[in-house]
Structure 1
Amino acid sequence: MMKYNFLALFMAMLSLNAFAQLESNQDEFDDFMYRRGNTFRAASGVPGINYFQNTSDYKIDVSLDSETHQIKGSLTMEYTNNSPYDLDFIWMYVEQNRFTEDSRGTLTTPVDGNRYNGDTDKGMTISNLVAKTQGSSSSKHSMTDTRMKVYFDKPVKANGGKAEVKMDFEYIVPVDGMDRMGRLKTENGWIYAMAQWFPQVAVFDDVVGWNTEPYLGAGEFYFGYGDFEVNITAPYDQVIVSSGKLLNSKEVLSKKLQRRMKKAQKSDKTVYLIKPDEILDQSLKAKQSGTLTWKFKIDNSRDFAFASSRAFIWDAAKMNLSDDREALAQSVYPIESDGQNAWSRSTEYTKASVEHYSEKWFEYPYDVAVNVAAEIGGMEYPALSFCSYDRQSGRLWGVTDHEFGHNWFPMIVGSNERRYAWMDEGFNTFINYYSTKAFNEGEYPAGLDNRRRLVPWFKSDSREGIDTYPDVTNLRNLGMTAYYKPALGLLMLREYILGGKRFDEAFKSYINTWAYKHPQPSDFFNHMENVTGENLNWFWKNWFYGNNNIDLAISKVEKKNANYLLTFENKGDIPMPVRYKVSFADGSQEIKTLPVEVWQRGNSWTHEYQTNQEIIKVEIDPEKKLVDINSANDIWSSED
């Protein structure tokens, strides 16, 4: 009888369903990408039991000729294959080949140019290449645009096998290096901003194997980790700064500079090493002719950059890090950049930025943080940044803070910039927001305070999704897809959806878990969900993938006995919790939140609000944390 009654009820429900289909938004809450995990990457968003990373350690001797602008170097690279697969070859990047007439980057640059213009008469020459493994040597290699394939006579064995690759390289330093590197002529000499300057190993991982996307322009870099020992020989009158710690200061710095350096290492205030009126002062030189070799070292880094010039003003200050660690903030800049409204505050900015991120997110691991004035809008490398020499005031703070923020994303958390620009640019823009608010108690405005000013872009037909690869994205959209939209997503997640405490715990855990490793987007999504205990599929799916928008509305307020019925609507394509403020006739107010799950069964939800007071206004998102594309339907008022 019970079975019969249940069957009758079920048939009645089917009959009813023929006339009234139940509404469901289940697809908005479903998993939208393969995130189930495997032995390499666990579903909890942590490295799996078989996760691996190969390492590459570099020893490089390089010389700079300031007359011919030529770089000549000898490189020895030790490669360790920690993967479970034997490797018959490795891929290396030779990115100076971007600066040729027939490079893919040159041929895909629009006729009217863009930010990523570059010289086309350069390119890198490789010679004397020898690749050794298992006691056997090979010189076989082939060049494909900005990539070089190096073959081994015997494979590099899995699970710890080692190989050694040696080669010589040379090229002419371009003037215009795609706003990433190059040289700038100043009143007192050339400034050489050296990046992508040596052959470097590509990443071999569990996701695609060899990551060999060519260097085109908008897509930046993806490298593994290793130790760098770099000796740089240049004319005696050059000052050289780099990603690494200077090892032979007594050989390359005069006694006076050594004393000033020691003073700077103990000072919270900026100390001049070379003053503006001392740029060409020969008494500050360790030699009076010939060349000097500067020796640097940085460990567990994914890259190495340096700058060299006879035109530098040089100043520095101590950075105070956690656990009583100290490091040295430094700035080098020409006389054209001097001034308290300009680069004379660069070291102050650098110090404040690095100290803030160290305290809030993860301790800065390097011995130096160097800001270099160059003909480059802004570009980051481990422990060294290039920023435009003509930036001043808040614009100089903004670019300095942004480039040093990149030491956390992607230098420490080593995401793939060439594929997922939002995982470094967007995350960095997010942390920049809080560092700017903290600097000198808000000396400069935080750009994302007024988030709804960006609504016109979100409503434009030409917008693209965050997931669009940077080299594919229309350059007019890159600022939004790579920087602002992902940053806004994290701001909403922290300030509207999860709250600061829950978000910060998960975000710090993500950084700690993936420090010096290579997370994928799914690793970030899984990690945040597992630490916060929230299923955020609806958010990742609709904000980070696709072009959907937020539009929450309050459509009706009705009196019901002693209480009120508040009817909210989701007129957009992204479900969101409903945070709303109720204002009463006596002047008091109350803020409440409805969970995102109210939208699981449809796009309209009526909530019974219990109160003995008279409601005169209801406002959605009173702090305006959401990028809601229609502010006009956020408020209900009894006066309307």
Structure 2
Amino acid sequence: MKYKHLLSLSSALFLTVVCFAQSENTNKSYFKQLYDELPTPNSFRTASGYPGHQYYQQKADYVMDIVLDDEKQTITGSETVTYTNNSPDVLPYLWVQLDQNMRAKDSDTRKIQSMSIGDSLSFEALDKYINPFDGGFKLEKVTDSRGNKLDYTINKTMMRIDLPQPLKPGATTSFKIDWWYNINDRMKIGGRSGYEYFEEEDNYLYTIAQFFPRMAVYNDAEGWQNKQFLGRGEFTLPFGDYQVNITVPSDHVVAATGELQNSSEVMTSAQRKRFAEARNNTTAPVLIITQKEAEENEKEKAKGTKTWKFKASNVRDFGFASSRKFIWDAMAVKFGNRTVMAMSYYPKEGNPLWEQYSTRAVAHTLRSYSEHTFDYPYPVAISVNAKSIGMEYPMICFNYGRPEEDGTYKERIKYGVISVIIHEVGHNFFPMIVNSDERQWTWMDEGLNTFCQYMAEQEWDINYPSRRGPAYKIVDYMKGDKSNISPIMTNSESIFQFGNNAYGKPATALNILRETIMGRELFDFAFKQYAQTWMFKHPTPADFFRLMEDASAVDLDWFWRGWFFTTDHVDIAIDNVQWLQVDSRNPSKEMAFQREQANKDEEAFIGTIRNKELKPKNVVVTDTKANDFYNSYDPFEPTKIDEKAYENYMNSLDDVQKSTLEQPLNLYDVTFSTPGGIPMPIIVEFEFTDGSKVKEYIPAEVWRMGDKTIKKLFYFEKEVVGLNLDPNLETADINRNNNYWPARIEPSRFKLYKEKESKEKENPMQRMKRAEEMD
């Protein structure tokens, strides 16, 4: 251990408050304010992150009649859209999204896909390439409310409707569209919506979304958000009221956005009675349709039809699911005097997992997210089981996860089901209510939602195996090849490593803000303020950044810049530790210390150790005449002069100074560096000789002058034996090997094998069942 004595007590006391900075200035740009990166505040959006006094948003109301053809797998629809121009601008045309057109044979989505055959190609892949699915909207007419044809232009996934008269501020216009399209087989060609076919019983399960021409958003930040839909960048939609009539086979059960208006026409009396019971049950789901009833229902196909009627207010979209296979359960979640129905629809293939967990997970999500944001405002929240998908719409989501055919399942499937339900139900908050621009900024809904998902998972089970959220889980991504990493602030369609970029990294960043930078109290207040302020509105990234700072009085520009605008990583190192103690002036004590230091290196030297064997042959041993005064002189032996000087020095001190001098004073001069790019707080844990520990927190502003290396002085009465940087894995430091003093290397493992191990064929539930049979 390297240490030395300070020359005087006064210098020791002075050094405890000084921070030394050195090295080149390279990081100053992190602490530059974000003025250049963020739009100028104005009357629509303020510098505090709140809506301005002239903030506006458009409104789009829909009345729709939809027919699902279970024989042809088609959707036919007719809609009347009433559009209200709340902007201060005159609109000569309207833009409508035609998202189904991304499945058209000539779509850009298909054209920009890379494909190479290589040495082999499956029959399915070749057929999919040669005979592409005939997708896309087939528009039959576009008229005004009186039936007069409107001029329109289709540009791939967007349609411009040219108005006969420009729509003035405050004015309303209505138009009608009739259309149909072929529903895609999700299991063969993928998609957020579509159908799943059950060949054994010749049945279908439909999860239907993006099924109607939808109004694009017009606002102060983007004008018309009419960026083409290529498949990844999701949706930006205005709020409105919906009346939707869905005609399906009479033995189908329909789940949808909104509240069912005609339960007496489409539900049996027994089902209505059970539903009423579920409205009063907040502890466990009540089965509205049992598995036995669903199995009977799916055996034969009815020839007639039924129309399910739904209404939804102040929603940005609409989705539904339909099948004769559905089991249906529900339970109540109370928010004051309001009752929200948490519900699940699933085929028998989802049991026993879904009956046990789905609706419970829905209810838990509503409670958890509401605690961190705002009370869930809608009347229902629905989870629908659909194989190999996780996708969200207002009040309804489609979620994957099924057990083995024997009803057993792996633990990861169980947690996968709970997690995807939490995540997709959570999307009701972000972006269905806090309505960010998904076409531009995926992280504003996926990242914020993944962060809330992590909190909900940990509130489900403190040992929950969350995939994303903790800082240490993003390390491998952040230390990866920068040519394959995008800044978070990248358009949705241009992101490398979509999951890490849009979900994992922003969720981690928010976790670090909450746990380390801001603290839970400040963060939770600011985050809730953001959520409640932008409920049913259209926030931008700048609004989020600004409001989080405004509500907390924490300058976060350096954090947003490092984590959101760059691909840099975090790496802080302990370069050197020097132990300093006060010179007591006591000659017997200090000279003994000097002797110890003088002899330490010399005695450790290999030459000295070996030369001791030659000592009897030294000249000064064999010839005493070769000795003089200095052969016996000990410079480290105190004399009476030294003792008198010490006595005089002590007499010059007052009682407080004497007491201070006699205390054990251990000062540690520590050099830190930042080989990584992003500045972060220095969190260092000191361990003492008695085994106790203490943690010191130095704010990230210690790097504000752009130094790559800084020094800090720490004082303790106890003697330090070790330092550990970021001991609780708070900062996503990518290299922990330089986080210790004395230095140590993080352990890892590699496997030895005789031959390649086969994949596990049994899940633990099956193995335990087999073991019980052996008893």
Determine the C-alpha separation between the residues in 2 that align with 1:605 and 1:164.
65
Match of 2:539 in 1: 519
| Alpha-carbon distance between aligned partners in 2 of 1:136 and 1:75, rounded to the nearest angstrom | 13
CA shift for structure 1 position 119? 6.2
Give the Å deviation of 1:109. 2.4
CA offsets 1:18-60 (integer angstroms, 9 cap, x no match): xx99746432211241344111111110111221111101111
Match of 2:87 in 1: 83
Alignment partner, residue 459 of structure 2: 438
Root-mean-square deviation (Å) = 2.5
Structure 1 runs (4+) greater than 6 angstroms displaced:
116-119, 282-285
CA separation in 2, counterparts of 1:408 and 1:507?
13
1:145 shift after superposition: 1.0
Residues 1:552 and 2:572 are matched in the alignment = yes
Aligned pair in 2 of structure 1 residues 443, 169: CA closer, same or farther (>3 Å)? Answer: farther
Equivalent in 477, 488, 494 of residue 466 of structure 1: 488
Q: Does 1:482 align with 2:502?
A: yes
Partner of 2:588: none
Tell me whether 1:354 sits opposite 2:354 in the alignment.
no
Structure with bigger strand share is 1
Q: How many residues align?
A: 610
Q: CA contact under 8 A between 1:192 and 1:307: conserved in structure 2?
A: yes
Looking at structure 1, the residues matched to 23 and 504 of structure 2 have their Cα atoms a distance apart, in angstroms, of 40
Match of 1:247 among 256, 261, 267: 261
Secondary structure at the counterpart of residue 532 of structure 1: coil
Q: 2:30 aligns with which of 28, 31, 54?
A: 28
**Alignment match, 2:178:** 168
Give the Cα separation in 2 of the matches to 1:273 and 1:406. Answer: 25
If asked which structure has higher relative contact order (CA below 8 Å, sep 6+), I would say 2
Deviation of the 1:127 alpha carbon: 2.5
Shift of 1:307: 0.5
Q: Given residue 258 of structure 1, which amino acid in structure 2 is its aligned partner?
A: R
Residue of 428, 436, 458 corresponding to 1:407: 428
Aligned to 1:108: 112
Look up the match of 2:729: 624
Aligned to 1:269: 284
Which residue matches 2:720? 615
Q: Tell whether the 8 Å contact from 2:23 to 2:709 is kept in structure 1 after alignment.
A: no
Identity of aligned residues (%): 36
The SS at the match of 2:110 is helix
The answer to whether the Cα contact below 8 Å between 1:464 and 1:547 also exists between their aligned partners in 2 is yes
- The partner residue of 1:589 within 683, 690, 693 is 693
**Unpaired segments of 5 or more residues in structure 1?**
1-19
Which of 545, 548, 562 is the aligned partner of 1:528?
548
Task: Give 1:398 shift.
Answer: 1.1
CA contact (8 A) 2:27 2:677 kept: no
| Structure 1 residue 88 displacement after superposition | 0.8
Contact residue 468 and residue 481 of structure 1 kept, 8 A: no
2:137 is the alignment partner of 1:124: yes
Q: Which residue identity is paired with 1:383?
A: M
- Give 1:62's aligned amino acid: I
Q: How does 1:9-408 map onto structure 2 within 5 Å?
A: 23=25, 25-32=27-34, 33-111=37-115, 120-131=133-144, 139-158=150-169, 160-176=170-186, 178-186=190-198, 187-188=200-201, 189-267=203-281, 268-279=283-294, 281=296, 290-320=304-334, 322-339=335-352, 341-342=353-354, 344-388=356-400, 390=402, 392-408=413-429
Shift of 1:448: 3.6
8 A contact 1:221–1:418 mirrored in 2: yes
CA apart distance, 1:453: 4.5
Distance 1:456 1:289, change over 3 A: closer
- 1:495 has 2:510 as partner: no
The 3 A distance-change label for structure 1 pair 453 and 70 is closer
Q: Residue 8 of structure 1 corresponds to which residue in structure 2?
A: none
* 8 A Cα contact 1:201 1:223, kept in partner: yes
1:182-206 Cα offsets, whole Å, 9 max, x none, are 0011255211111000010000111
Q: Any idea what the Cα deviations from partners look like across 1:516-544, whole Å, max 9, x if unmatched?
A: 11111111111111111122111111111
CA gap of 1:541–1:75, structure 2 versus 1, over 3 A, is same
Q: CA deviation at 1:95?
A: 1.3
CA gap of 1:273–1:611, structure 2 versus 1, over 3 A, is same
For 1:283 and 1:372, the matched residues in 2 are separated by 17
| Alpha-carbon contact 2:64-2:79 (below 8 Å) kept | yes
Q: Give yes or no for contact 2:63–2:242 (8 Å, CA) kept in 1.
A: yes
Q: Deviations over 1:103-123 (max 9, x none)?
A: 11121223268xx99963122
Task: Report the 3-state secondary structure (helix = DSSP H, G, I; strand = E; otherwise coil) of the residue aligned with 2:311.
Answer: strand
3-state SS of paired residue (1:219): coil
Report the Cα offset of residue 627 of structure 1.
0.8
TM-score by length of 2: 0.75
Q: Which amino acid in 2 is paired with 1:589?
A: K
Classify the secondary structure of the residue corresponding to 2:430. Answer: helix
Tell me the CA shift for residue 306 of structure 1. Answer: 0.3
**Structure label with greater radius of gyration:** 2
AA of the residue aligned to 2:313: D
Residues 313-359 of structure 1 deviation map (CA, whole Å, 9 limit, x = unaligned):
11111123x323211111111122221x3454211111111221122
Q: Kindly tell me: are residues 21 and 482 of structure 1, through their superposed partners in 2, closer, same or farther at Cα, counting changes over 3 Å?
A: closer
On the 8 A contact 1:557/1:564 being kept in 2, the answer is yes
Shift of 1:378: 0.4
- Point out where structure 2 has 5 or more consecutive residues left out of the alignment: 1-21, 117-124, 404-412, 583-664, 746-775
* Cα deviation digits, residues 430-489 of structure 1 (max 9, x gap): 1111110111x3363222476435423222222222122222223xx1111111011111
* Matches of 2:518 and 2:81, distance apart in 1: 45
Which residue identity does 2:350 align to in structure 1? S
Partner Cα distance (1:333, 1:228) in 2: 25
8 Å CA contact retained: 2:24, 2:708: no
1:343, 1:185 → 2: CA distance? 22
8 Å CA contact 1:137–1:153 kept in 2: the answer is: no
Deviation at 1:607, TM superposition (A): 1.6
**In structure 2, do the counterparts of structure 1 residues 618 and 247 end up closer, same or farther at CA, with 3 Å as the change threshold?**
same
Amino acid at match of 1:89: Y
Structure 1 residue 280: Cα displacement: 5.1
Instruction: Classify 1:335/1:443 alpha carbon distance in 2 versus 1 (closer, same or farther; 3 Å).
Output: farther
Quick one: structure 1 residues 443 and 454, their matched pair in 2 at CA, closer, same or farther if it must change by over 3 Å?
closer
1:58 partner SS: strand
Within the candidate set 432, 436, 441, 1:420 is matched to 441
CA distance in 1: counterparts of 2:176 and 2:380, whole angstroms: 28
- Counterpart contact for 1:279–1:313, Cα < 8 Å: yes
